[in-house]
Amino acid sequence: MKTYRKIAARPESMGRLNQKLVLDQIRINGSTSRAEIARKTGLSKPSVSRAVDILLRKKLVLREDSPKDRGRIGRKPEILKFNTKAAYFGSIDIGGTKITFGLGDLSGELLEECHIGNPRNWDKIVKIIPEEIKKILKNANISQKKLRGIAIAAQGVVNIDKGTVGSSPNINGPEGYPLREKLRKNLPVSIWIENDVNLAAIGEFWKEQEKYR
């Protein structure tokens, strides 16, 4: 007969999970209160408060005044909202004839976009990417320190773990080109590389998920 042993979660793991649950509630609802978060998540009020305090320190969550409470005497109820401008992410679509760059905030809003011709050589592409990322950050008046990651869609075979790209009919370069490793020399942020078809499918999936939130 099979027996199962309960494994207690580490406090730090539980803390991160609680922060995610709380942040998701704030993001989905637009603005909410600690009491409402506790009610919807089933977390205890102390657990919610600890998670909220950490998210406030990280500036992922902001406090705001409710319009109906302005001018009210006494302690005002705390309203929390998701800070969509806490961080930014870049996107790069390396197509057959052009490369498309995008910059978005945490809400998924596209803030900047530009297109350039594809030089069809991986070494040249590696040189171009950091320059174009800096340009769109400057155009959006955003500090490079607030750029937290870049997602890259590439044609052909992509090794996600190693960050390498295989041969492509449109781009010259060796098999297993270390794209992520080379980009990190000038872009010290998280870089995800995925096949363009797979990444498009993932994007469509998340767009559909958002409709039902």
Spatial separation of the C-alpha atoms in residues 98 and 101, rounded to whole Å = 10
Helix or strand run (H / E) with residue 50:
helix 45-57
Spatial separation of the C-alpha atoms in residues 26 and 24, rounded to whole Å = 5
Spatial separation of the C-alpha atoms in residues 32 and 193, rounded to whole Å = 35
Q: What domains does the chain contain, in order, with CATH numbers?
A: 11-82 (1.10.10.10), 88-211 (3.30.420.40)
| Average pLDDT of the chain, as a whole number | 88
pLDDT at 67: 60
* CA-based max dimension of the chain: 69
- pLDDT digits 0-9 by tens, 120-142: 999 999 999 999 999 999 999 99
Look at residue 33 and tell me whether its pLDDT is greater than 80. Answer: yes
Look at residue 69 and tell me whether its pLDDT is greater than 70. Answer: no
5, with CB counted inside 10 A (0-12, 13-18, 19+), is exposed
Residue found by looking up tokens 């657990």 in the block: 47
